[in-house]
A and B are shown apart, each in its own frame.
Chain A
């Protein structure tokens, strides 16, 4: 009997993931309404529960456990981007046009300041060679910019790991803290959501953070965030690397 169940589950991983996430959502909304009187959104609880569950596994989070392998497909880049694009159906083109300039500025400012702040922090925490500093600074952009930059410059694997970890921490902080700070930074309209996406830039963090704050804002933030990693991969191993080298 267990063998039979294992076989069915193993062959239908994605559907197991649908069922499992459905249960997480149901429990989260139950906790939200019963225990917090809906003060903490159910979505925020569900995303946080997801992060905690990820601790059970390793590199791929809970998907490292065979029973939940389908979670990697459900939460992978393909379906994520597909559903993000679908949210554009509810977005207002006029509002995006109006926020266009602010969005572009936020992208450039976001990548530049993340990188240099990351470099400065790494410097004060004991790193002094140009390649390590640049790689960690790039990781402070996103966890994709970090290894791309480190790979291009030939950084050590230890520094690469730190760089990726920095990007992942950024994603986690954005996911958890966005709904908490949204009120204080005026993150309640499409215009500021576009700017937010450009400044923070980690697509998954921006998307999850906005979803927990107000799902209507997701398409606006995702729109700019999607350019961020590309811009970071362009600037970090080239212009920024030379800038850091000339400063050291």
Chain B
């Protein structure tokens, strides 16, 4: 049933968030540290396990894939609810710092991507 997939997804999400907030508590940050990342790992592991056992039904997968495909529309809604006015009215410091930091970040991608790539993996 489709709800099994949605329920599994909700379980992973909540477990990940709880783990993220606990980690935050441990290192003294009031917030979620990597909750979504933990939830994603959990979902991948459970998915792998269920597939091996042959317990993963098509309908279950569909319950998760639906939410995965809602991702882009949700991002559009998120973009439409950002405080874009603040970004523009924050003055030159915000504009200059925000833009330069992001562009420099882009430029670092090729350098750091080299880490952990053996020559045969280059493509």
Report A's interface with B, CB cutoff 8 A: 17-18, 21-22, 24-25, 43, 46-51, 53-55, 57-63, 68, 71-72, 74-76, 79-91, 93, 96, 98-102, 105-106, 109-110, 113-114, 117-118, 121-122, 125, 127, 136, 139-140, 144, 148, 161-162, 164-175, 177-178, 181, 185-187, 189, 191-192, 195-196, 198-201, 203-205, 207-208, 211, 215, 218-219, 222-224, 226-227, 229-231, 233-234
- Do B80 and A125 have beta carbons less than 8 Å apart? no
Q: Are B81 and A165 in contact (CB under 8 A)?
A: no
Which of these, A80, A198, A215, A222, contacts B74 with CB under 8 Å? A80
* 9 cross-chain pairs, A with B, having the tightest CB-CB distances, nearest first: A165-B90, A169-B98, A230-B33, A50-B79, A75-B77, A75-B78, A165-B94, A88-B40, A86-B68
From B75, B84, B87, B102, give the contact of A200 (CB < 8 A): B102
Q: Is the CB of B109 within 8 A of A195?
A: yes
In the complex, per-residue mask of B86-119: 1 if CB is within 8 Å of any chain A CB, else 0: 1101111111111111111111111011111100
B70 interface residue per 8 A CB criterion: yes
Complex CA–CA separation, A105 to B61 (angstroms): 34
Partner of A75, one of B9, B29, B81: B81
A166, A175, A181, A203: the one contacting B93 at CB < 8 Å is A166
Complex alpha-carbon distance, A211 and B76, angstroms = 10
Beta-carbon contact of B43 and A88 below 8 Å: yes
Residues on the B chain within 8 Å of A75, using CB:
74-81
A53 near B80 with CB under 8 A, answer yes
**Which residues in A have their C-beta under 8 angstroms from that of B58?**
none
Bound together, the chains give a CA A211 to CA B109 distance in angstroms of 17
